[in-house]
Structure 1
Amino acid sequence: MNRDQIADLIYQKIKQNKDYLKKQFDASSNEIGFLYIDDLLPKELALKIYQKFPNKKDTVKRDSLRELKYTAFQMDKYDSILEEVIYAFQDNRIVNLLSDVCKIPNIYADEKLYAGGLSLMEKGNFLNPHLDNSHDKDRNRWRVLNLLYYVSPDWQLDFGGNLEVWPKGLKHDPLKIESRFNRLVVMATHSNSWHSVNKVNTDKTRCCISNYYFSDEPILNSDTFHVTTFRGRPKEKIKDFILQMDNKLRQSLRFLFKKGIRENPHQYKK
């Protein structure tokens, strides 16, 4: 299937559930703002997407105190179905529909997949609590929505590797959103939208397709520019201190160099 055909399916599924999704997002919008919808695509198509995910040797490993995972974003290196489904989420009908559902006007998809694309997480992988970078690659638009589509069959909550959102901040327990097969999660991104992925504890691989939407205006009037900002979990006191120092250093460098010392390689160069 091509991206237009896949977009048709996604659009119809979201449209059919529009009222329910609006209620979901509205119920959490005072803190972070998120929604999820299951069985997004026909099961056979979702399985095919999963089966075409690249081997981790063909991805970029990200290994630090902040995170441990594998990413892929140079989409012409992989099976064409993966590029088609990623760009299906950028169809104007879907962008505009989610703009309406989430009550965020004038949003745009990101053709360059800045920080988007594919991610794979195996046993022991994790993503510490963090705020996404506030802007797009050129710091012209604000990042406002994070779309996460999970395609690992038979995923269960006790496998770990689940999305965590921290609506009450990092001193309180997070809400876990299972990385369930064929589930789409849409989450607002702003200066309060702390989120993470808990450690994978199964031999299976968690596979996710991600897109970001941007806007000319931030969601919160109080939002200011920030780099991707990581913190330790509540019991990780030493790690939290180190990560806060790392955040301050990287933030200072971005004030001196608007686009960073070097170009961020995490983008699709066609």
Structure 2
Amino acid sequence: MTKDELIAAILSKLESERENIVRQWSNPDGTHTRYFYVDDLLPKDTAQSIYDAFPRDADGFFNRQSFREKKRTLTNLASCAPILSDITYAFQNEAVVQKVGDIVSFKELDPDPSLYAAGLSMMFKEDFLNPHIDNSHDGERRKYRRLNLLYYVSPGWALENGGNFELWDTSVKTQKTVVAKFNRLLVMETNANSWHSVSPVVVDRPRCCVSNYYFSKNSPSGEDYFHVTSFLGRPDETGKRIVGRMDNSLRNLVSRALNTGRGRELLNKSDDKK
């Protein structure tokens, strides 16, 4: 499929699932964070082609590894197979952004062609993402992060594989798990309390995801605020929770003082911002 065909397919699927999406969004199951997911977003063979285009060894990906997370990401898509760039930027298309915003009643949403903290993600055995809230703003600190879109493309992915998406309560003690199912689009709101994570991958195969964010000049709470991406340990990781709180406070102070943002060096700087 061409990028225009991908856009048309996404728009059609979102519209056909409008009632289901609104129901999920209005009554989030097992969490305070609003979210929805749509299965079979694209034709199966197209989703398979997207997965097949991911490198099996994450060659060229940026390796994030700390107590906070272990995963591989890629923002500059110029060297990737065209279908990976096409599907990523299909979600950044103005019509798709407006469609999502219309369905969940979010006004004045903006795309982010720089793909700040977005792009492609690969996770392998023992990779994980600890509970966290996303950076509150875009790379230039001019807009608030409002929606996180995750499109999963690993065939046959199941709950027992690990690597699944988790939404936590405000105290980060109990979670709602959403399987990273093949050809599933998951959309969640992002704000100062939208704690989420990815459980450790336990199988020896890649978990592949296309990630995008939408932004707005309007604050989710109606009040000005700022925070860096902030991590905690899981409920049984007392040490990581203590270290996480200290680490979050320090990075917030440094970021405010220096006006820097985590991952700004990974912005898409290519001319291929479609």
CA distance in 2, matches of 1:263, 1:237: 27
Structure 2 counterpart of 1:130: 132
1:263 Cα deviation from its structure 2 partner: 7.0
CA contact (8 A) 1:134 1:142 kept: yes
Q: Secondary structure at the match of 1:118?
A: strand
- For normalisation by structure 2, the TM-score amounts to 0.94
Indicate the SS of the match to 2:264.
coil
Give distance in 2, aligned partners of 1:188 and 1:148. 12
* Unpaired segments ≥5 residues, structure 1: none
Counterpart secondary structure, 2:59: helix
CA drift of 1:32 comes to: 1.0
Worse overlay, 215-224 or 13-22: 215-224
Whether 2:40 is the aligned partner of 1:35: answer no
- Name the residue aligned to 1:13: 13
In structure 2, the residue matched to 1:70 is 72
Corresponding residue of 1:45: 46
Return the offset for 1:53: 0.6
Report whether the alignment pairs 1:82 with 2:84: yes
CA contact (8 A) 2:73 2:119 kept: yes
Deviation at 1:240, TM superposition (A): 1.1
User: For the residues of structure 2 that align with 1:149 and 1:103, how far apart are their CA atoms?
Assistant: 21
Aligned AA (1:6): L
Separation in 1, partners of 2:112, 2:10: 18
State the secondary structure of the residue aligned to 2:266.
coil
Q: How far did residue 58 of structure 1 move? A: 2.1
Query: SS in structure 2 opposite 1:97?
Result: helix
Paired letter, 1:124 = E
Residue 40 (structure 2) pairs with residue 56 (structure 1): no
Q: Is contact 2:170–2:193 with CA below 8 Å preserved after alignment?
A: no
- The yes-or-no answer on 1:159 pairing with 2:153 is no
Matched AA of 1:209: V
Distance in 2 between residues matched to 1:210 and 1:230, nearest whole Å = 19
Residue pair 1:190, 1:223 contacting (<8 A) in 2 also: no
User: 1:130–1:230: 8 Å Cα contact kept in structure 2?
Assistant: yes
SS in 2 for 1:76: coil
* Segment of structure 1 superposing worse, 249-258 or 191-200: 249-258
Moved more, 153-162 or 52-61: 52-61
User: What are the ranges of 5 or more consecutive residues in structure 2 without an aligned counterpart?
Assistant: none
Shift of 1:266: 2.1
Match for residue 109 of structure 2? 107
Q: 2:98 aligns with which of 91, 96, 99?
A: 96
Q: How much has 1:116 moved relative to structure 2?
A: 0.2
Root-mean-square deviation (CA, aligned residues, Å) is 1.5
Provide the residue aligned with 1:265 in structure 2.
265
Matches of residues 169-180 of structure 1 in structure 2 within 5 Å? 169-171=171-173, 173-180=174-181
TM-score normalised by the chain length of structure 1: 0.96
Mapped to 2, the partners of 1:85 and 1:73 lie a distance apart of 13
Tell me, in whole angstroms, the C-alpha distance in 1 between the residues paired with 2:18 and 2:217: 24
The separation in 2 between residues aligned to 1:170 and 1:253, in whole angstroms, is 25
Farther off after superposition, 15-24 or 180-189:
15-24
SS of residue paired to 2:45:
helix
Work out whether residues 116 and 263 of structure 2, in 8 Å CA contact, stay in contact via their aligned partners in 1: no
Pairs aligned (count) = 268
